[in-house]
Chains A and B, each alone.
Chain A
Amino acid sequence: MTADEARALFDAALDGELADELRSELEHALAADHELRAEYERHRSLFAATEALGRVSQVDLLAGVQHKLRARSGGKFYRDRFAERRGQSASLGVVIVVSAGLVIGVLLWFAYSSGLFAR
């Protein structure tokens, strides 16, 4: 096996996909050529090092995803319960203020019509 033929097998060897016969030939070639062996080891250690790329610091996407879905669905999904409660109490306040205004209006009208404001 030539050095180039051996190099062509590096990936398959790393993937564990070499047939026994070819693996044995590759091992033979690596044993006979120290430079090729060093090259193979560099290749192997590089891909062992890619493990480092698999380690990423924790990420929490859920709140962002929920927020975007809520906004884009017009509140249909992941409705904000807190906002909903605030919304209810705000509506209640409006009803109370309007009702109070009506009662005061009616009382003033009675007072006016019964001559309480007449000089």
Chain B
Amino acid sequence: MLDADERELVQKLKLRDEAAFSAFVLKYQERVFRLLLRMLGDRAEAEDLAQEVFISIFKSIDGFRGDSQLSTWVYRVAANHCRNRIKYLVRRRRQVTDGYEEGDEQSHTNAVFARPAAPDQLMEAKQTEQLLQEGLLSLDEEQRELIVLREVEHLSYEEIMAITGLPEGTVKSRLHRARAGLREHIERSERGRRR
């Protein structure tokens, strides 16, 4: 599974080689951060969690047996941390708002991750990005994770199955629903803007 370079890197990581770990962080930081940013929709939260992901990897690298690609394992660790952080944020939000706001869990989730609206007119690319990010945040966390892994990170179904632990049929059917949900959200937003 691992090529010679990765095997050497993993060996050094298991020896807690600081230079090798620094190189590892530089190699994977963008992928981990992008996944977390798209899942959480908040840059500061994503940066903080990405640092925790790398610290966790530093501590738990001995548990990596090399039966998947290193990148797949890194994504799996990041995705697990992300699910836990989302649960924590939702719980915290619920404690803060309990008794003050009405609405179901989904609206709480969205409120936690909602970004403040930009005051100025945004460029078209920025608007597209924001619209898509809002669409992502409107999905439940499982669907969002699948969209990010497939459409943003361009991972194969095999990699997604290894990261999520879901069978292929489930990945595909959930991804189908996620795509439909995202498309529906975007179209609804666009109709709303035209009015």
Residues of A within 8 A of B (CB): 11, 42-43, 46-47, 49-50, 52-56, 58-62, 64-66, 68-69, 72, 77-78
Is B40 among interface residues, defined by CB-CB distance under 8 A? no
Interface size range on B against A = 35 or more
B173 to chain A, nearest CB (A): 10
**Given A53-B129, A54-B152, are A46 and B47 neighbors across the interface (CB < 8 Å)?**
no
B28 to chain A, nearest CB (A): 9
**Given A64-B51, A66-B22, are A50 and B151 neighbors across the interface (CB < 8 Å)?**
yes
Residues of B within 8 A of A (CB): 16, 18, 22, 25-26, 29-30, 32-34, 37-38, 47, 50-52, 54-55, 58, 125, 128-129, 132-133, 136, 147-148, 151-154, 172, 175-176, 179, 182-183, 186-187
Q: Is the CB of B55 within 8 A of A43?
A: no
A42 partner residues in chain B, CB cutoff 8 A:
183, 187
A54 partner residues in chain B, CB cutoff 8 A:
34, 152-154
**Given A59-B29, A62-B25, are A69 and B50 neighbors across the interface (CB < 8 Å)?**
no
- Enumerate the 4 nearest inter-chain pairs by beta-carbon distance, A residue then B residue, closest first: A50-B151, A52-B129, A61-B29, A59-B33
